[in-house]
Copies of this chain bind each other. A is one copy, B any other.
Amino acid sequence: MRELYELCGGDPELVFSPYCWRVRLALLHKGLSFDSQPIRFSDKAKLAFSGQPLVPVLRDGEAVVSDSLAIFRYLDQRYPAKPLLGDALSSARLELIDQLTRHILPTGLLKGLVLQIHAAIDPADRDYFRESREHKLGVSLEQFADPVAGQALLQQALRPLDAVLATQAYLDGAEPAASDYLVAGFFFWAWSLGEQPWPGESPVGLWFQRLLGQYEAQLGPVKRAA
């Protein structure tokens, strides 16, 4: 039995967390099936078995692993075929790519997504979401939301990805691996919330379509917010 505990919206089939999407894509890469265990913000007590409060959590038989990169490491150790991380040097570089892309990608995207998230989550989660995010952002959700400014920030942030993807199909080379899934998590986040704030015909837009096509060919259409 393999279960992925992941954040869901008011509709339990709407999963949108970028870090949960990383793990979905990694499981698909390994050819491993899983049951989705949708978790609302107000359901977090259901994660107590993992010893920490955050999704994603993978339960795989006796193993319980949280944190997207730790799950990648676990998957490579337990299922060595089709490595996600590679050797020690490749793994070190992946950690750096994780930090660099967390630095440049989420802010611009969040400016266009924050009100969609608020609308998509269960009504019982909305007060928690608003309070926790407004505390972190230092302004109200409505003051932070700015799709136009977000798109301008994103446009800048896509340049390094476009530069790499102009000459190869995936960030990790001719075939996708962990870098692609780390970064693609942010794109599936926007997509599942009903947005696509990047140009579809750009290198990065075509890369996303390839990953989306591979996902949907195996696991069916991605549920998107209305």
Enumerate chain A interface residues (CB-CB to B < 8 A).
83, 86-90, 92-97, 99-104, 156-157, 159-161, 163-164, 168, 171-173, 177, 179
Chain A to chain B contacts (Cβ below 8 Å), 5 pairs: A89-B173, A90-B90, A97-B97, A100-B104, A100-B160
B-chain residues with CB within 8 Å of residue A100 when the two chains form the complex? 97, 100-101, 104, 160
B-chain residues with CB within 8 Å of residue A103 when the two chains form the complex? 104, 156-157, 159-160
Residue of B with least CB distance to A103:
B160
The 8 closest A-B pairs by CB, nearest first: A99-B160, A93-B93, A92-B173, A86-B89, A100-B100, A103-B160, A90-B90, A89-B90
How far is it, in angstroms, between the C-alpha of A93 and the C-alpha of B173 when the chains are bound?
A: 8
- Please determine whether A89 and B160 come into contact, CB atoms closer than 8 angstroms: no
How far is it, in angstroms, between the C-alpha of A88 and the C-alpha of B97 when the chains are bound?
A: 16
Copies held by the complex:
2
- The one of B86, B156, B160 that contacts A96, using a Cβ cutoff of 8 Å: B160
Closest CB in chain B relative to A208 CB, distance in Å: 16
How far is it, in angstroms, between the C-alpha of A7 and the C-alpha of B100 when the chains are bound?
A: 29
B-chain residues with CB within 8 Å of residue A161 when the two chains form the complex? 96, 99
Residue of B with least CB distance to A158:
B103
- Please determine whether A160 and B102 come into contact, CB atoms closer than 8 angstroms: yes
How far is it, in angstroms, between the C-alpha of A102 and the C-alpha of B159 when the chains are bound?
A: 10
- Please determine whether A164 and B95 come into contact, CB atoms closer than 8 angstroms: yes
How far is it, in angstroms, between the C-alpha of A213 and the C-alpha of B148 when the chains are bound?
A: 46
How far is it, in angstroms, between the C-alpha of A157 and the C-alpha of B159 when the chains are bound?
A: 16
B-chain residues with CB within 8 Å of residue A93 when the two chains form the complex? 90, 93-94, 97, 172, 179
- The one of B92, B102, B171 that contacts A171, using a Cβ cutoff of 8 Å: B92
